[in-house]
Amino acid sequence: MAVENGEWIMRGLPWDDPYRIRSWQELIAWIDEIGFLPLFKNEIGGFSAEEHTSDLYWWSGDPEQDPWEWRQLIARSGQVAYGKFFGKKAGFISKAWFPHFANWRRDGYDFDSRWDEGLASMRQKRVMDQFGVKGELYSFELKRMAGFGKEGEKNFEGTITDLQMGGYLLIRDFRQRLNKRGQPYGWPISIYTTPETLWGYQHISSAYSAEPTQSKELVYQQVCRNFPAATEATLQAVLGWDR
């Protein structure tokens, strides 16, 4: 995705290209095959959903053809993880590969252990504590419960993004708010949860026996295996993690 002359330009495949991904189910299948996939074009050629879908229907609102709508359906399916995992930008990680991603990004620490060691901020603590109350939370609900707002903590979006980058949170769904009559209204809003709530602690911690540096290397190797043009510099740009 780029901006040219004030317009958003998508870099996709021609409509009749036989390799074009044609549905959100096909996209999930490819994510399961390769393990990791950013949503938008980046420094690694071909390493995005954007470059393997058509550029004709983005932001059209058509759930059959619009990859922007597909991300909602994919998150809702729970089959792969969706969140801001790549350079604080959105993308997908397969269930099979998420344990190594989490082990690397968490550096061997569950969130409580990270807090106990003084490695997490109070803002992050306030956010994560809310998932002991409810398993899934609207973004506006989480913001209020964690004490962010005009008179409270600042930088809610940055805090949430850092927790996703760290492997502690993901976007589980997008849902509209409900009015007093229980009727949906407005734009769909992000629903956050923990990977453990989605797939269970046993699965998420299954790579904890490996050193975090080993998990990082396995992630890098997996990306290189599928995108051999990737270099150390481009891998660092797209996958790099500055805590």
pLDDT tens-digit series, residues 177-210: 988 888 988 999 999 999 999 999 999 999 999 9
Q: What is the mean pLDDT of residues 79-87?
A: 97
- pLDDT band at 6; cut points 50, 70, 90: low
Question: Quick one: what percent of the chain has pLDDT higher than 70?
Answer: 96
Tokens of 5: 């002359």
Tokens of 68: 């922007």
Q: Over 60: is that where the pLDDT of 227 sits?
A: yes
pLDDT at 137: 97
Cα–Cα distance for residue pair 65/78, rounded to 1 Å: 20
Cα–Cα distance for residue pair 46/182, rounded to 1 Å: 43
C-alpha Rg value of the chain to the nearest Å: 18
Tokens of 105: 């990004």
Stronger pLDDT, 224 or 243, i.e. the higher one: 224
Q: Over 50: is that where the pLDDT of 5 sits?
A: no
Cα–Cα distance for residue pair 158/174, rounded to 1 Å: 19
pLDDT tens-digit series, residues 98-113: 999 999 999 989 999 9
pLDDT tens-digit series, residues 128-179: 999 999 999 999 999 999 999 887 889 999 999 999 999 999 999 999 998 8
Cα–Cα distance for residue pair 65/56, rounded to 1 Å: 9
pLDDT at 11: 86
- pLDDT band at 36; cut points 50, 70, 90: very high
